[in-house]
Structure 1
Amino acid sequence: MRGIDCEAFRLSPQGLSPEQRAEALRQLYEHESRQKATFLGYQNNLRPRYAEDLGRFLDYHLNNIGDPFRGSRVTTNVKWIERAVLDYYAALWGARWPHDRLDGESYWGFVLTMGSTEGNLYSLWSGRDYLAGRCLLEEPEAERDVSRADGSGERRAASQRLVYAQAPAPAESPNAYAPLAFYSEDTHYSIVKAVQALDIRTFYEIGATRYPNDNPLAPGRPWPREVPSVGGPGGPGVIDIAALARLVEFFASKGHPILVCFNYGTTFKGAYDDVEEAGNVLLPILRRYGLDERKVHCDPRRPEKYDVRTGYWFHVDGALGAAYMPFLEMAYHSGKIAQRGPNFDFRLPFVHSIVMSGHKWIGAPWPCGVYMTRTKYLLRPPSVPEYIGSPDTTFAGSRNGLSAVVLWDNLARRSYEDLVGQALYTESIAAYAHRRLLELQARLGQDLWVARAPLSLAIRFKAVNPELEFKYTLAVETIYVEGEKRTYNHIYAMEHVTAELIDAFIEDLAQPGAFPEQETAVPPPPSDGSAPAPRGRGLHVPHNGRGFRD
Structure 2
Amino acid sequence: MSHSLSPEEDQLLVQLLADVKHNTEFFMGYPVSKDFNYEELMPFLQYPMNNLGDPFVPSTYAVGSRELEKEVVKFFADLFRAQSNDWWGYVTNGGSEGNLYGLYLARELHPKGMVYYSEATHYSVQKNLHLLNMENIIISTQANGEIDYDDLENTIRMNRQMPVIIMANIGTTMTEARDDIGRIKAILKKLAIKHYYIHADGALSGSYSAFVEPRPAFDFADGADSIAISGHKFLGSPMPCGVVVAKKSNRDRIARSVAYIGSMDTTISGSRNGHSPLFLWYTIKKLGTAGLKERAMRCLEVAEYAEKELQKIGIQAWRNPNAITVNFPEPPLQIRKKWQLAAESGWSHIICMPNVSKKQINELLAEILVSIELAELT
Normalising by the residue count of structure 2, what TM-score does the alignment of the two structures yield?
A: 0.94
Aligned to 1:118: 97
Distance (whole Å) between structure 2 residues aligned to residue 92 and residue 374 of structure 1: 14
C-alpha deviation, 1:373, in angstroms: 0.9
- The code of the aligned residue for 1:453 comes to N
Q: Secondary structure at the match of 1:111?
A: strand
Please give the per-residue CA displacement for 1:102-148, whole angstroms capped at 9, x wherever unaligned. Answer: xxx51011110x2110011111111112112xxxxxxxxxxxxxxxx
| Counterpart pick for 2:176 among 270, 273, 277 | 270
Equivalents in 2 of 1:16, 1:179: separation in Å?
57
Return the letter of the residue paired with 2:35.
R
Q: 1:249 — aligned with what?
A: 157
| Residue among 14, 32, 42 paired with 2:30 | 42
**Pick aligned residue for 1:84 from 62, 66, 71:** 71
Letter in 2 for 1:90: A
Aligned equivalents of 1:502, 1:491: Cα separation in 2: 9
Structure 1 residue aligned with 2:227 = 354
Please give the residue correspondences for 1:310-349 in structure 2 after superposition, counting only pairs within 5 Å: 311-328=195-212, 332=213, 340-348=214-222
Which is further off, 351-360 or 410-419?
410-419
Q: How far off is 1:491 after superposition?
A: 0.7
Counterpart amino acid of residue 192 in structure 1: Q
1:498 deviation in Å?
Answer: 0.5
Alignment match, 2:317: 450
SS at match of 1:106: coil
Whole-angstrom distance in 2 between the partners of 1:380 and 1:276: 26
The answer for the alignment partner of 1:68 in structure 2 is 55
- TM-aligned CA deviation for residue 464 of structure 1: 2.4
RMSD: 1.9
What are the Cα deviations for residues 289-343 of structure 1, in whole angstroms up to 9, with x where unaligned?
xx42xxxxxxxxxxxxxxxxxx111110011122111122xxx4xxxxxxx2422
- 1:279 aligned partner, one-letter code: K
- What are the Cα deviations for residues 70-106 of structure 1, in whole angstroms up to 9, with x where unaligned? 0001110211110011111111111133xxxxxxx51
- Equivalent residue of 1:414, what SS? helix
Deviations 1:340-385 (A, max 9, x none): 242211112x321100100111111211111111111115457522
Question: CA–CA distance in 2 between the matches of 1:17 and 1:389?
Answer: 40
Describe how 1:501-516 pairs up with structure 2 within 5 A: 501-512=360-371
Q: What is aligned with 2:118? A: 184
Counterpart position of 2:328 = 461
- How far apart are 1:241 and its partner, in Å? 1.4
Picking from 484, 499, 504, the partner of 2:358 is: 499
Aligned to 1:284: 190
Conserved? CA contact 1:356–1:369, under 8 Å: yes
Match of 1:194 among 124, 128, 134: 128
Distance of 1:53 and 1:283 partners within structure 2: 51
**Using the alignment, how far apart are the partners of 1:424 and 1:408 within structure 2?**
21
Partner of 1:528: none
Greater helix percent: which structure? 2
Unaligned runs of 5+ in 1: 1-13, 98-104, 133-177, 204-225, 293-310, 333-339, 442-447, 479-486, 518-550
Would the aligned equivalents of 2:105 and 2:254 in 1 still touch at CA under 8 Å? no
1:432-480 CA distances to partner (integer Å, 9 max, x unpaired)? 1111111122xxxxxx5422111111112222233222211111212xx
Task: For 1:126, give the aligned amino acid.
Answer: L
Q: 1:417 to 1:184 in 2, by over 3 A?
A: same
Selected match of 1:108 from 63, 88, 91:
88
AA in 1 matched with 2:220? F
> CA separation of 1:420/1:382 partners in 2, compared to 1, >3 Å: closer, same or farther?
closer
Q: 1:428 to 1:351 in 2, by over 3 A?
A: same
Structure 2 distance, partners of 1:274, 1:36, is 34
CA contact (8 A) 2:332 2:371 kept: no
Q: What secondary structure does 1:511 align onto?
A: helix
SS state of the match for residue 459, structure 1?
Answer: strand
Residues 514 and 380 of structure 1: CA distance in aligned 2, closer, same or farther (over 3 Å) = farther
Question: Helix, strand or coil for the counterpart of 2:269?
Answer: coil
Question: What is aligned with 1:392?
Answer: 265
The count of aligned residue pairs is: 375
Matches of 1:470 and 1:58, distance apart in 2:
33
Q: Give the letter for the 1:31 counterpart.
A: D
The answer on whether the counterparts of 1:108 and 1:375 sit within 8 Å (CA) in structure 2 is yes
Q: Cα distance 1:438–1:399, how it changes in 2: closer, same or farther (>3 A)? A: same
SS at match of 2:206: helix
Residue 131 (structure 1) aligned with residue 100 (structure 2): no
Post-superposition Cα deviations, 1:23-56, rounded to whole Å, max 9, x if no partner, equal 1222112111111212100111111111x11111
Are residues 1:28 and 2:16 paired? yes
d(CA) in 2 for partners of 1:432, 1:316:
29
1:56 aligns to 2:43 (yes or no): yes
Quick one: distance in 2 between partners of 1:78 and 1:361? 22
Alpha-carbon distance change, 390 to 342 in structure 1, aligned in 2, over 3 angstroms: same
Shift of the alpha carbon at 1:512?
Answer: 3.0
2:215 and 2:74 mapped to 1: Cα distance?
23
- 2:307 corresponds in structure 1 to 434
Which amino acid in 1 is paired with 2:319?
A: R
Does the 8 Å CA contact 1:465/1:514 hold for their aligned counterparts? no
Q: CA deviation at 1:15?
A: 7.4
Superposed displacement of residue 515, structure 1: 9.3
Change (3 A) 1:516 1:268: farther
3-state SS, counterpart of residue 347 of structure 1? helix
Contact 1:183–1:261, Cα closer than 8 Å, also in 2 = yes
Aligned-partner SS, 1:181: strand
The verdict on how the C-alpha distance between 1:351 and 1:425 changes in structure 2, with shifts beyond 3 A counting, is same
Once the two structures are superposed, residues 213-259 of structure 1 have per-residue CA deviations (whole angstroms, 9 ceiling, x without a partner) of: xxxxxxxxxxxxx21112xxxx111111122111111111xx11111
Cα displacement (A) at 1:516: 8.0
Structure 2 residue runs without a partner (length 5+): none
TM-score, normalization by structure 1: 0.66
Q: Which residue identity is paired with 1:417?
A: A
Identify if the C-alpha distance between structure 1 residues 256 and 15 changes in structure 2 by more than 3 Å, giving closer, same or farther. farther
The 3-state SS of whatever aligns with 1:398 is coil
